[in-house]
Structure 1
C-alpha cells in the first residue's frame, strides 16, 4: 500500500478535474463524517419529497451537496448492511449475512485502511456486529437489547469498558461525537468518524421534548395499505411484518397505563424494562402523551379496517417523532464544523442502513427487495468536489461507500473490495459515467427468523426488477417499475414480457458470477 502523508501534494486523481487550485499547492486531506441511522427511509426525509418530515439539517446536506436517488442496499437488514459498508464486500464474502452471526473483525475495513494511512478513526453509537470494533482509535458503541441498545439511559462499550450513560440515546451519541471532535482527537490528523444512531429503530421511543410532537397530525395513508398481494408470490402473503397483525399492543403501540407498567404482573417485561429506564420527568410526560391513545383503543369500537388505520397513525407518530432528535444532532455537528472552519474540508455523508416500510403494502420493517426498503437515503456534502444541488441518478450500492472514502483519502483500494468509488459520478454531474453499472444485485438470507420474510435474491435495472424467492419455495416476481412503481402487479411469466424476463435472468446470473454468490 502506498504511503500517504498528512498533506498530499495533489488531491486524488479522481478529484483533479474539479479542483480550482494550482497543481503545486498542497491540499489538506479531507475529513470524513459518516452519519447513519437505523431504518430511516427516504419517504421520511423532506429532501426526498416527504411532505410530513421535518429534516432541515439532512436537507441542508442534500441542498449544499448531492442527493442520490438510486442508492440501494445489498441486503436490507441492519448487521449485514453495516458489514457491507465497513468492508466494501457483499455479505456472502465478508461472512455476515444475517443478524445471528458475529462479524469477523480481523478482515480489512475502510477504517483500518484509513488509520494505517494517517487518519484518526472513531465510531460512536450503534455497532450491531456483536464482535468488538477493530481499526478505531476510539469507539463507544451501544450494547444491550441484543446490541440494539436502549433509547433511555443506554449501555455502552467504550474502548473496552462497560458504562451506562444517563439521557436519551440520540442526544448522547451526538454529544459523544462533539466531545471527540473537540477534545479527544489529534487535530494534526484528518479524522474519519462514524456516528451511528439507534433511531428510528423499533420500538420508536422519542426524546422527552418530542413526545406527542405528531399527535395532532394525521398522516396520509399509502394507497396500498390494504394490499391483498393478489398477483404476488407466497412471500408477501406469509410474512410477519404487517401493521394489522404484527404490531404489539405494548412494545409497539405503547398501550399500557402508568399503573399497569408499575405492576409486577405486567406481561411485557421487555417494554416494562425500557420504560423503567426513563427518568421520572420523562415517565410523567410519556403517561400524559399516551393516555389519549390508550383511551381511544380501549373505548372505541372499530371495524377491522378502522383498527388498522388507527395502528398505522400510532406507528407513524412514534416513528416520525424519533427522527427529530437525529436531525437536531446533525445540525449541531454541522454548526461545530462550520465554527471551526472544517466544514468545507469534510466529506459529510448521511444515510441509513436501509430503507423501511411506512405502511406500503400494509407493512412496517424492511428485508424485502421492494423499493421502500431496498432504496437507501444517501446525501453527501463536499463543495471541493460536489456541486450544490446535484441530483445523482447513477446506481449506487452500500458496498460503494468504503472505496469512495478510500479514493477521497488517496488510499489504494484492496483487490477484494467489490464496490466502486462514487467520486466519478460527481465529475459527471450526477449521471452515470461511461461504463458504469446498469443494474444492482440483492440477496436476503435470514429465514426462518423474525418477521418470516423468505430468502430471496434479485436484480434491479433502471426499469425492471426480477426477484427469486427460494429455500422453502421456488417462486419469482417481476415488476415494470416505469408502469408499476409501487410493485403491485407481478408480471413474471406473462407472454408479452418473456424476452425481457429471459434477459433479466441472464443479467441476474451474470451478477451472481461477478459477485461470486453461489448460495441458493
Structure 2
C-alpha cells in the first residue's frame, strides 16, 4: 500500500508539472505580417510629406512605430517582388526586367533556382501563408500548379492572374477570380481586397498559438482605377477613384490591426508596410489628371518604371508596440533585398547555405538594439542594365548621371559634367566611392528564358534600332 501511495504521488507530481513544462517550451518568436502595397509612392503618404489625407491608419502606425526615410525597391512590380522574396539583387538572380509569366508565359519564379523567405521561415517552424496577388508563376500551368507550396507558403488565398482570354485575366477587383488552397471561390458581388483581408483575419484566428508569417501581397492600388465599397455609385474623376482605392487599402490595414488587438497578438506581431514601386500615373499625364499625389505643392509626375527617387524610394513602416516601440525615424539606407535576411533574423532561422544573399538584416534597427558592425553606406537597385546607387546625399547612375539629392530631389541638375564635381571635395569623394561600388558589381546573370513583357519588348526594339543606327553611321 505504501508503495502504491508513493507511485500515485509521483504520477500526480508529473502531471502537475506538465503544464509548467509546456509553458516553458512555448515558442515566443514574433509573428510577422508583411504588407506589400501595389503601385503607390511617397507622394500619397502623409507621414512622408504628402499633402493628401488618405492614409490615417498607416500614418498612425508610422507615428507610433519605426519608419525609414530611404528604402529602395525596383521601379516595377515583378522585379521588386523577386528581389524581396529572394534577398538577391536583380543582377545576381537574373530577374532584372519586368516579366509576368501568368500573362506572357515563358520563364517563371523557379523554386529549384531560388529560395523564398517563406521556405526559410516554414523550415524554421513558422506557419506561413500568402494573401492577395501572385504574378511570378502561372498557377494554371500544370508544371507550376504547386508553386505556392514549393516556395514555402503552406496556405494561400490568391488572385492568380491568367493569360489573355482566361477568366482570371485582370479580374482582381469586383467579382474577382480567387483561388484558396486549390479551390476557386464564389465571389459574385464581392470586392477582391475584402476577400483577402477577411482571409488573413481568419488565418490569424486559427494560427495565433504558433508563430506565423503572413505575406499580404495587396492588389490595391493597381490600375485600372475602380470604385470601392466606400464610394460605389459616386461620380468621381480617375484621380479621385485612385485616392479612394488608397483610402480603402488604409481602411483594410486598420481592420487587420484591430483584429490583432482583439486576438491579443498585437504586442508580439511585427507589421511591415512597403509599396512595390512608385505611383502608376496611368495614361493621362497632364498635371491635374495624373494619379500622382501632391507633395510640396506639386502633383508627382514620376513613378512606376522610373529610376528617379519617386519611382524607387518607397515608404517603409514597421510597427509593434512591444518590440519596435514608439516613434522612431531612421536614415539608414535600406533596399528591398534586406527583407529576407531580416525576417530570418527575427525568426531565428538560418540562412540557406550555398546561396549568395545580397541583403543585410536590419533586425537590430527594428528591435532598437546596437549593431555589432556599422551599417552600409549605400543602397542599390536596377532595371535591365541600368543600375543606380546612392549614399545619404548623392546618387549615381551606371550611365553616368550624378545628383545631389539634398539640393535636387527631383534630379533636374546632373553634376557629372560640372566644375563642381571637379572642385568640391564632398561631391568628388561620394562620386568616387559610389562609382567604385558600381564598378565592382558583376554583369547580369542569365536566365534560361527570355523576358516577354511589353517593357522587355520595348527595350529589345530600342536596342535593335540603336544597332541599326550605329551600323548606318559606320557605313557612312
Alignment TM class, shorter chain as reference: 0.7 to 0.9
Output aligned runs, 1:135-284, within 5 Å: 135-144=152-161, 149-166=171-188, 167-183=190-206, 185=207, 187-211=208-232
**Aligned equivalents of 2:81, 2:397: Cα separation in 1:** 23
Tell me the CA shift for residue 333 of structure 1: 0.9
TM-score (normalised: structure 1) = 0.67
1:113, 1:79 → 2: CA distance? 21
Equivalent residue number for residue 440 of structure 1: 379
> Quick one: structure 1 residues 398 and 108, their matched pair in 2 at CA, closer, same or farther if it must change by over 3 Å?
same
Could you say if the C-alpha distance between residues 91 and 401 of structure 1 is closer, same or farther in structure 2, counting changes exceeding 3 Å? same
Does 1:320 find its partner at 2:326? no
Contact 1:440-1:459 within 8 A present in 2 as well = yes
CA contact (8 A) 1:512 1:518 kept: no
Give yes or no for contact 1:492–1:501 (8 Å, CA) kept in 2. no
In the alignment, structure 1 residue 487 sits paired with structure 2 residue 411: yes
2:37 aligned residue: 37
- SS of match in other structure, 1:354: coil
Provide the rounded CA distance (Å) in 2 between the counterparts of 1:367 and 1:355.
8
The corresponding residue for 1:102 is: 108
CA distance in 1, matches of 2:351, 2:227: 40
C-alpha distance in structure 2 between counterparts of 1:515 and 1:424, whole Å: 29
> What SS does the corresponding residue of 2:246 show, helix, strand or coil?
helix
Distance (whole Å) between structure 2 residues aligned to residue 323 and residue 518 of structure 1? 36
Q: Report SS of the residue matched to 2:398.
A: strand
Q: CA separation of 1:493/1:195 partners in 2, compared to 1, >3 Å: closer, same or farther?
A: same
Counterpart of 2:235 (choices 276, 289, 293) is 289
Aligned to 1:417: 357
**Residue in structure 1 matched with residue 342 of structure 2 by the alignment:** 404
Aligned to 1:4: none
> Given the alignment, which residue of 299, 310, 313 partners 1:375?
313
Counterpart Cα distance in 2 of 1:27 and 1:145 = 39
Deviations 1:308-366 (A, max 9, x none): xxxxxx44322211112111111111111111110010011111112226277973541
Contact 1:143 1:149 in 2 (8 A): no
Q: The residue matched to 1:208 in structure 2 has which SS?
A: coil
CA distance in 2, matches of 1:109, 1:512: 28
Distance apart, 1:51 and its partner CA? 2.5
Higher-Rg structure is 2
| Aligned counterparts of 1:182 and 1:188: Cα–Cα separation in 2 | 9
Distance in 2, matches of 1:152 and 1:468, equals 42
Change (3 A) 1:404 1:149: farther
User: RMSD value over aligned CA atoms?
Assistant: 2.8
1:76 matches 2:75: yes
The aligned counterpart of 2:332 is: 394
Cα offset for 1:424?
A: 2.1
- Post-superposition CA distance 1:362-412 (Å, at most 9, x none): 735412221111111111112333231010111111111111111011111
In structure 2, relative to structure 1, the CA distance for the partners of 1:145 and 1:325 (3 Å cut) is: farther
Contact 2:205 2:263 in 1 (8 A): no
Residues of 1 paired with 2:256 and 2:383: CA distance? 34
* Matched residues, number: 381
Corresponding residue to 2:304 among 359, 366, 369: 366
What is the deviation of 1:67?
1.0
Q: Output the CA distance in 1 between the equivalents of 2:336 and 2:372.
A: 18
Is structure 2 residue 72 aligned with structure 1 residue 126? no
- Give unpaired runs (5+ residues) of structure 2: 1-20, 100-106, 139-146, 164-168, 282-291, 447-462, 464-476
Distance apart, 1:188 and its partner CA: 3.7
Match of 2:470 in 1: none
Please give the TM-score of this superposition, normalised by the length of structure 2: 0.73
Closer, same or farther: CA 189–426 of 1 in aligned 2, 3 Å: closer
Unaligned stretches of 5+ residues in structure 1: 1-8, 10-23, 212-284, 291-313, 446-454, 470-475
Residue deviations 1:404-452 (CA, integer Å, cap 9, x gap): 11101111123521101112224668x998521111112112xxxxxxx
1:242 is matched with: none
Return the alpha-carbon distance in structure 2 between the equivalents of residues 437 and 344 of structure 1: 30
Q: Compute the displacement of 1:468 (Å).
A: 3.4
Report the Cα distance in structure 2 between the residues aligned to 1:47 and 1:145, rounded to whole angstroms: 36
What is the CA–CA distance in structure 2 between the aligned matches of 1:361 and 1:344, rounded to whole Å?
A: 38
SS across alignment from 1:406: helix
Question: Residues 151, 364 of structure 1: CA spacing in aligned structure 2 closer, same or farther, 3 A cutoff?
Answer: farther
Residues 1:99 and 1:141: Cα distance change in structure 2 (over 3 Å) = farther
Measure, in 2, the Cα distance between the counterparts of 1:140 and 1:25: 31
